Amino acid sequence: MSAPIRYYYDLMSQPSRALFIIFRLSNMPFEDCVVALRNGEHLTEDFKKEINRFQRVPCIHDNGYKLAESVAILRYLSAKGKIPEHLYPKYFVDQSRVDEFLEWQHMSLRLTCAMYFRTVWLEPLLTGRTPTEAKIETFRMHMERNLDVVEEVWLEGKDFLTGSHLTVADIFAACEIEQTRMADYDVRIKYPKIRAWLKRVRQSCNPYYDVAHEFVYKISGTGPQAKL
C-alpha cells in the first residue's frame, strides 16, 4: 500500500483552503505539512530544492512525485480516482463546465479579490504604509466587476456555480471571496445571490469549511453566522 500524499499548505492561502476542504470531503488521507507563509518558510533554499521549485503553496509530494498549482493537483488526484465525481466530474461535458469556471476565475475573480486583499490588508501589515483611498477604490471597482459576473451570470437560475449541486468550482470561488473579509469587505451586503450561495457552500462543506476559515473569521471579527 502506498503512503498518503504529503500536502504542503497554509490556511492563510485561498487555494490551500480549497484543496484542504476538497481532500476532507473526499475522505482522502494525507500527511499534514503546514508551511508558515508569515514566517517565510517557503522562501528558503531548502524549500525551493526539496519541496517546491516555485516556492509557493499548495503543493503535494506523492511517493516522490512533486506537483504544484492547485488546479493541476486537483486534476492529477481526480485522474487517480481520489476525488469523487460529484465534486469533479469525469464525464467530459460536466467536467468542461467546472473547468470553464476554474479557467475563468483565475485571472478574474481570484486575481481581483487577491489584489484587493493585498492592497487593503496585507501590504499595510508588511510595510506599515496605508494605501490611498483612490487606490483602494480602484481595486474595489475591479473586484466588484467580477463579483457582478458571479452574481448575474454564474449564479443565474442556479443554486451553485455550475448546476444544482456543489462542485470544486464553488469551493475554489468561495475561498477567494471569503478572503476579502479580512479587508473589511462584506460581499453579502451588495450581492444577495452570492450571500445565499455562500451559505449553501458552507453548509455543504462543513465542518471542514469552518475549520479551513477559522483564521479568516478570527482576523475579520466576522464569524460564519455574523449578521449584516
Task: Give the helix/strand (H/E) hosting 147.
Answer: helix 133-149
Q: What digits encode the pLDDT tens for the residues 74-100?
A: 999 999 999 999 999 999 999 999 999
Same domain, 159 and 182: yes
For residue range 22-73, what is the model confidence (pLDDT) as tens digits?
999 999 999 999 999 988 999 999 999 999 999 999 999 999 999 999 999 9
Q: Which residue has the cell 531548502?
A: 46
Domain hosting 49: range is 5-79
**CATH number, domain at 160?**
1.20.1050.10
Using CB atoms within 10 A of its CB, is residue 19 exposed (0-12), middle (13-18) or buried (19+)?
A: buried
Domain shared by 129 and 203, yes or no: yes
User: Does 121 lie in the same domain as 179?
Assistant: yes
| Non-local CB neighbours of 139 within 8 Å, separated by 6+ positions | 112, 115, 116, 119, 120
Task: Decide if pLDDT at 5 tops 90.
Answer: yes
CB 219 within 8 A of CB 182: yes
In this structure, the answer to whether residues 184 and 114 fall within a common structural domain is yes
**Residue 1 banded pLDDT, cuts 50, 70, 90:** low
What was the pLDDT predicted at 222? Answer: 75
Are residues 194 and 187 in contact, defined by beta-carbon separation less than 8 angstroms? Answer: yes
Domain check: are 101 and 208 in the same one?
yes
* Euclidean distance between CA atoms 153 and 171, whole angstroms: 17
115 shares a domain with 73: no
pLDDT of 228 over the 50 cut: no
- Clarify whether residues 54 and 142 are in a common domain: no
Kindly state whether residue 127 falls inside one of the protein's structural domains. Answer: yes
- Maximum alpha-carbon separation in the chain: 57
Q: Give the torsion sign (CA, 19, 70, 153, 222).
A: positive
Q: Give the CA distances from residue 215 to residues 42, 211, 220, in Å, rounded to whole numbers and listed in that order.
A: 19, 9, 8
The set of residues, in sequence order, having a beta carbon less than 8 Å from that of 119 and lying 6+ positions away, is 131, 135, 136, 139, 183
CA pair distance 144, 142, nearest whole angstrom: 6
Tell whether 58 and 136 lie within a shared domain. no
Residues 33 and 127 grouped into a single domain: no
CATH of the domain at 65: 3.40.30.10
192-220: pLDDT as tens digits: 999 999 999 999 999 999 999 999 999 88
Q: How many separate domains does the chain show?
A: 2
DSSP 64-102: TEEEESHHHHHHHHHHTT-S-TTTS--SHHHHHHHHHHH
